[in-house]
Structure 1
Amino acid sequence: MIQIREAQPEDAGIILECIKGLAVHVDQVEMVTATVQDIRNTIFAPDTHVTVFVAENEDKKVCGFTLVFKSFSTFKGVTNYHIEDLFVFPEYRKLGIGAMLMKHLKTYAKSKGAKVIDWYVNNRNHSAMDFYDRIGAKKLDYKSIYYFDV
């Protein structure tokens, strides 16, 4: 049985392992520079804007995670949530854990008054795009992502 719970500071190491696992999955390992201490200092800081949920099996082994933060819709005038990452370790895929994490996020965001949860998908991550299509997520085709390195 899978349980979804909010991550705690002692989960920093497994959160980093999830991040690295996602980087391997999308062939971007070289982009990961975070350390366990970085995770502790940012995700679990008193003023954090980030929430992490982990999926645990009956043996208390973390099978996957998702990381969200608040965003804002000027058109709707409400706070929403943005998923930065969602990852399930390969050995736990096809068990419905990703769908459970998404369902949990929807319940969480709704309880906080959000109207929308959005996320980006790496164009290399075809399995993720297929998954999001299967669970009924809508795709925006009218936006492009731009950014600055600072």
Structure 2
Amino acid sequence: MDHDSRIRPARPDDLPRLVELIHEHVAYERAAPRPAGLADRLGPRLFAEGARLWVLLAETPDGTVAGYAACSEEFAFWDASPYLHMDCLYLAQEARGHGLGAALMTAVADLARERGLDHVEWQTPDWNEGAIRFYDRLGAGGRAKRRYAWPV
């Protein structure tokens, strides 16, 4: 990691930059644009007392928020145990290759341990070869499944 880069929890004043990064991430993953008002919907859930949603931010030495990892606690029914689900990990293009991704993953693992959780799960698109190589280098194991979304 670059000298003086750091990982820290998101604060309410980070919300505008976090939303910018989310929109970049959505475009990068070739997903449909999100409806207006994302900050208004996300802020109260992220910063509410007792929220079980955590966002860790990667900050460059100059203080620029360059990436994030968003996590929540989930429950593995087959194992009858909770785990940390990392819903998103994203670094702005210019921040990649400087160790921030590894630092974010270390912070995510630390968050899981702090919460008394024994593992982290996440997904990445099957076309994202760079992310797959990165996760493989960390020693993570992939699981073949297809994710569905069902509007109700």
Superposition TM-score, scaled by structure 1 size: 0.89
Q: In structure 2, what residue type is equivalent to 1:147?
A: A
Matched to 1:146, the amino acid is Y
User: CA RMSD of the aligned region, Å?
Assistant: 1.6
What corresponds to 1:24 in structure 2? 27
Identity %: 26
**AA paired with 1:9?**
P
Q: Which residue identity lines up with residue 2 of structure 1 in the other structure? A: S
Q: How does 1:36-115 map to 2 (within 5 A)?
A: 36-115=39-118
> Map of 1:8-23 to 2, 5 A cutoff?
8-23=11-26
Contact 1:121 1:128 in 2 (8 A): yes
TM-fit CA distance, 1:47? 4.4
Take 2:146 and 2:77, find their aligned partners in 1: how far apart are those partners?
18
**TM-superposition CA deviations, 1:102-147 (whole Å, max 9, x none):** 0111111012111110001123322211211122211113x33233
The aligned amino acid for 1:59 is: D
Alpha-carbon distance in 2 for matches of 1:140, 1:123: 11
* Distance in 1 (alpha carbons) for counterparts of 2:16 and 2:60: 17
TM-superposed deviation, 1:5: 0.6
Give deviations 1:72-123, integer Å, cap 9, x for gaps.
1234333210011000111110001111100111111012111110001123
SS of equivalent residue, structure 1 residue 31: coil
Gaps of 5+ in 2: none
Aligned to 1:145: 147
Q: Which moved more, 1:90-99 or 1:107-116?
A: 107-116
Q: Which runs of 5+ in 1 are unaligned?
A: none
Q: Which amino acid aligns with 2:13?
A: E
Distance 1:23 1:126 in 2: 17
Distance 2:38 2:62 in 1: 26
Separation (CA, whole Å) in 2 of partners of 1:20 and 1:79: 29
Number of residue equivalences: 148
Inter-partner Cα distance in structure 1 for 2:130 and 2:29? 10
| Stretches of 4+ aligned residues off by more than 4 angstroms | none
